Amino acid sequence: MLFKRRIVRSSAALALGKLSALSTRVDPLVGDLLSSLQASDSGVREASLSALEGVLKHAGKSLSSAVRTRVYLHLKDLIRNDDDQVRISAASILGITSQYVEDDQLSELLQELSNLPLSLSWSARHGSILTISSMLRHNPSVICTSPEFPSILDQLKSALTDEKFPLRETSAKAFGRLLIHKFRSDPSNSSVHSDIISSLVSALHDDSSEVRRKALSAIKAGSKENSSAILAHMNIIGPALAECLKDGSTPVRLAAERCALHAFQLTKGPENVQAAQKFITGLDARRISKIPENSDDSDSEDLASG
């Protein structure tokens, strides 16, 4: 019953978001949604956040500066919330909102995200890494051109070794988004590519199967975006990818097969199948090369959601 209620609320929130793009009165609607975030009922808060996300996605540009500031301040507080769903939703929305806030607010946010002392609660650090990941989806250039970028990169690396699994999982996803952006915006910067790829490869050895799967999905997405750059780093990727093909977790093995298909470019000719045998068995290379190339389109949503 609770699941059905969430589906109904989510559908209503999505419809509201789309309708808001047609409205000339977005400010009052957002004001009401912000007020409803004070509700004690978690279902109401979740629905309000879903609606707010839809409205900002479709009509964020139409908000007045004053209301954008209210949204920014609310979300900056909520990304440290103890409630997992509130924190995750708020971070996702803050990434969208980062496209519309004032320059000084953006600078303030980036400075805060670049400095996450271990004295912060794990949930507060998680909310910050979630926000970085969302910004790398919706507004990546502002992070990568910021003076804070090296420090933010350090925060992602630190999160990748955190004792809390949600931080490691979110960091792996963020590194995947960063890799895609760097392949597009800075395709010849092999040292940055190598740094990001090395971080993702380290995640392939994580204790959590979900972190390993996220890292494989990220490397696969990078292979689809820039296969030559991935092949250039195969000495880093190959041994860890070969290990994942023997993983005890079925979802990880399946993700590794799809990753290998694209990373080794196994559908592009027998010479690639031959070259892959430096790292994987001939039997595996030939078997994986027969997997339909677009059979994994659905799991590319890993980097496109949240």
In degrees rounded to 5, what are phi and psi of residue 96?
A: -65, -45
Residue 106: the pLDDT is: 96
The top-level CATH class assigned to 162-306 is mainly alpha
Phi-psi domain of 226 (left: phi exceeds 0; alpha: psi -120 through 50; beta: other): beta
Residue 281: the pLDDT is: 95
pLDDT class for 6, splitting at 50, 70, 90? low
In this prediction, residues 166-172 reach a mean pLDDT of 98
In this prediction, residues 97-109 reach a mean pLDDT of 96
**Residue 190 contacts residue 179 (beta carbons within 8 Å):** no
The pLDDT of residue 32 is above 60: yes
**Residue 95 contacts residue 131 (beta carbons within 8 Å):** yes
Pick the CATH number of 1-159 from 1.10.150, 1.10.260, 1.25.10, 1.10.10: 1.25.10
Task: Give CATH 1.25.40 domain extents, the chain.
Answer: 162-306
Residue-wise pLDDT for 42-84, tens only, equals: 788 888 899 999 899 888 898 999 999 999 999 999 999 999 9
Percent of the chain clearing pLDDT 70 (strictly above): 88
Chain-centroid distance, C-alpha 58:
20
- Between 16 and 56, where is the model more confident? 56
| Residue 81 per-residue DSSP state | -
Which helix (H) or strand (E) covers residue 17, if one does?
helix 2-20
Task: Give CATH 1.25.10 domain extents, the chain.
Answer: 1-159
Phi-psi domain of 265 (left: phi exceeds 0; alpha: psi -120 through 50; beta: other): left
Structure tokens at 42: 């978690």
- Between 204 and 116, where is the model more confident? 204
Residue-wise pLDDT for 106-138, tens only, equals: 999 999 999 998 889 999 999 999 999 999 999
Percent of the chain clearing pLDDT 90 (strictly above): 77
| Model pTM score | 0.91
Residue 131: the pLDDT is: 98
Residue-wise pLDDT for 234-258, tens only, equals: 999 999 999 999 999 999 999 999 9
The pLDDT of residue 139 is above 80: yes
- Between 150 and 17, where is the model more confident? 150
State whether the Cα torsion 289-249-244-229 is positive or negative.
positive
Name the E strands within the chain: none
The pLDDT of residue 297 is above 90: no
User: Half-sphere exposure of residue 118, counting CA atoms within 13 Å on the CB side?
Assistant: 6
pLDDT class for 26, splitting at 50, 70, 90? confident
Three-state secondary-structure class, residue 146: coil
Structure tokens at 158: 């630190």
Residue 12: the pLDDT is: 58
Residue 197: the pLDDT is: 98
pLDDT class for 2, splitting at 50, 70, 90? very low
The pLDDT of residue 299 is above 80: no
From the number of C-beta atoms within 10 Å of its C-beta (0-12, 13-18, 19+), residue 14 rates as middle
